[in-house]
Structure 1
């Protein structure tokens, strides 16, 4: 890998060799006393990767601060794919203001203090310490024609303070204020300290002051929220607004069809969460009151989900305020999980929860995030979009210790039913596709996969509406819904001509069984 070479090095023989190699074309000169070995990668990439070494050489008495201190890296226009686009580094140093340019890098340093206590030595240069970067970024600045504003401004500092409060608690903001009070005179930031003090006071609700960010206003109002979750919700709404409204009418219009539809959704919704029963046993649990001796809690999960889905009510969440919405989901969760007292039915979580690599909203941010989510929700007019939004809101916040997935799908179905639209059922065979779609939005902020997945599930769900539970089971079987081996089955619109066979309590098209066991001799069981 190519490296950066500096002169003078203290070794005159080495320095002469560097000059000879440069004259012979074996080294590229970046700036006075800075050379780079030839490489297959563009020189701009090499320079940007080694920015800290270069600024340490060129501005040895400087501190990377202002926007660079806040970001911890050079600023570069993210919309530009051009390798040659400059990256900007902002420094403070006890010297006259100046700009130094290198291939792909602009070093902009202002007259100011060099390293002070709390600044961080970093591979040859210095980074502004955690308190200094907050004060420095409260200094007003403007963007230039060729680059960004030097500082991030009060809104970014406010967001950082809110994040620190969420991570370390309110006492940490008091510590920041005390440390900033001592530091401000040393770096000529007394005016900025006044602004910082007001921001912290507003966030801690100890004084009246203007806050400008969504999360700042929420914390100042006593209901802090998770800005990353809200950002994902906004992305989902923005994407939904670009698509034509989906309007697949609800075919479950008779009591028998409603019963069959609610049962199938309850069955599959629990299977997704790992509560697995043969569908025949689930029929006995729901309609005959037979609870499995060894798994009574699992049996109640299916029954509790069914009881909510068969009697959803006809009022959209858009018709109530945030307090009523929160009351409803807590009561629904209490009823849903009442057989599992250890998960604290009806009470929000008090410890963080996660699924794999996905971390959900922190406990102290749950109520505020739900409230802000409902503010966004009420701006949505399309009922299908509202249904997907409320599902993802509850899934991404994960407000309870358990049962979040089932509750989120119940509330989605409630929105659809209130608008006369078909329910969305996610069957066993589509489980991994569905979870991947959720992860794409939760982890990468990509909403399109989630929306398309649920649109497809709704088309299949409408096609599987049936006048009885037995007929619904048969229709879903013809859609490959009960198949667990996704390598040999894909969810599809049911085909009445497809022959069905049941093995080990699982009904599926004959070609599915043939594909996973051509001999026909393999025993099957759940």
Structure 2
């Protein structure tokens, strides 16, 4: 599978640089933006997400449905965050790096600015997530640095990524957008470390939230979603002439 990951990374970067949206880059942009935002409450459909990505326009699937401006702003922000992730794909995790992801995700969101939420900076007020006590604002920088130091010192595999994600969510470094930045980090670190990446689907939202309390359960979810993403992308990445000789 290492060869496949290498090809995926190469193909992704080529298509990104050329803004070729017909292959794995376009597919992943749509899937990640749709599912990651949907997990957080977005009302945009898959078709609307694709339309926004390809044409920068979106239409209502039903005249009775009102499209929220925040959903469009955050979907567009996710596209920008994904691009920033690709630009920095080989960089180690740092506070400065994740702040740059958060800035791309949230800089266009009027509601966040109106609420006084820091954009591209750590939270300045306490927050909670699903009943989990999160890190106080004044401790975020120290805790994030400790987490990333721990991560860099450990073997990179799905188990380590599960631990990283759970601890990241416990810290909850930003006022809003923690899940989406956390999931983009997972995708980045997979490609950076030769692990076939994955997209957590909205259909598994409940299972995902429960797994945030159990590293083993979250690792299994990652592995399951990894298999699905690979099945959906390998044909976009591996040339037919090379498939028979590919080391799995």
TM-score computed with the length of structure 1 as normaliser: 0.37
Q: Is the 8 A contact 1:383 1:415 kept in 2?
A: no
Q: Deviations over 1:191-211 (max 9, x none)?
A: xxxxxxxxxxxxxxxxxxxxx
Structure 2 unpaired stretches of 5+:
16-22, 60-65, 237-248
How far apart, CA to CA, are the structure 2 residues paired with 1:428 and 1:272?
5
How far apart, CA to CA, are the structure 1 residues paired with 2:42 and 2:73?
10
Work out which of the two has the higher radius of gyration on C-alpha atoms and give 1 or 2: 1
Which position in structure 2 is the counterpart of 1:297?
Answer: 70
Q: Deviations over 1:194-235 (max 9, x none)?
A: xxxxxxxxxxxxxxxxxxxxxxxxxxxxxxxxxxxxxxxxxx
- Per residue, is there more strand in 1 or in 2? 1
Question: How far is 1:374 from its partner?
Answer: 1.7
Q: Deviations over 1:361-399 (max 9, x none)?
A: 111111111111122112112254454344333222111
> In the alignment, which of 365, 370, 376 is matched to residue 139 of structure 2?
365
Q: Deviations over 1:170-202 (max 9, x none)?
A: xxxxxxxxxxxxxxxxxxxxxxxxxxxxxxxxx
- Mapping 1:464-479, distance limit 5 Å: 464-465=232-233
- Distance change (3 Å), C-alpha of 1:367 and 1:278: same
- Distance change (3 Å), C-alpha of 1:388 and 1:248: farther
Which position in structure 2 is the counterpart of 1:309?
Answer: 82
Q: Is the 8 A contact 2:134 2:172 kept in 1?
A: yes
Q: Is the 8 A contact 2:159 2:215 kept in 1?
A: no
Which position in structure 2 is the counterpart of 1:64?
Answer: none
Which position in structure 2 is the counterpart of 1:391?
Answer: 165
Counterpart check, 1:447 vs 2:199: no
- Distance change (3 Å), C-alpha of 1:448 and 1:387: closer
> In the alignment, which of 463, 475, 486 is matched to residue 231 of structure 2?
463
- Mapping 1:239-278, distance limit 5 Å: 249-250=4-5, 252=8, 253=11, 255=15, 256-278=23-45
Q: Is the 8 A contact 1:348 1:363 kept in 2?
A: yes
How far apart, CA to CA, are the structure 1 residues paired with 2:185 and 2:209?
18
- Distance change (3 Å), C-alpha of 1:454 and 1:330: same
Which position in structure 2 is the counterpart of 1:114?
Answer: none
- Give the total of aligned pairs: 211
Q: Is the 8 A contact 2:39 2:205 kept in 1?
A: yes
How far apart, CA to CA, are the structure 2 residues paired with 1:426 and 1:275?
15
Q: Is the 8 A contact 2:166 2:215 kept in 1?
A: no
- Mapping 1:108-123, distance limit 5 Å: none
How far apart, CA to CA, are the structure 2 residues paired with 1:345 and 1:248?
38
How far apart, CA to CA, are the structure 1 residues paired with 2:216 and 2:160?
15
Q: Is the 8 A contact 2:134 2:170 kept in 1?
A: yes
Structure 1 unpaired stretches of 5+:
1-245, 319-324, 441-445, 469-526
Q: Is the 8 A contact 1:259 1:310 kept in 2?
A: no
Counterpart check, 1:337 vs 2:103: no
TM-score computed with the length of structure 2 as normaliser: 0.76
- Per residue, is there more helix in 1 or in 2? 2
How far apart, CA to CA, are the structure 2 residues paired with 1:248 and 1:382?
17
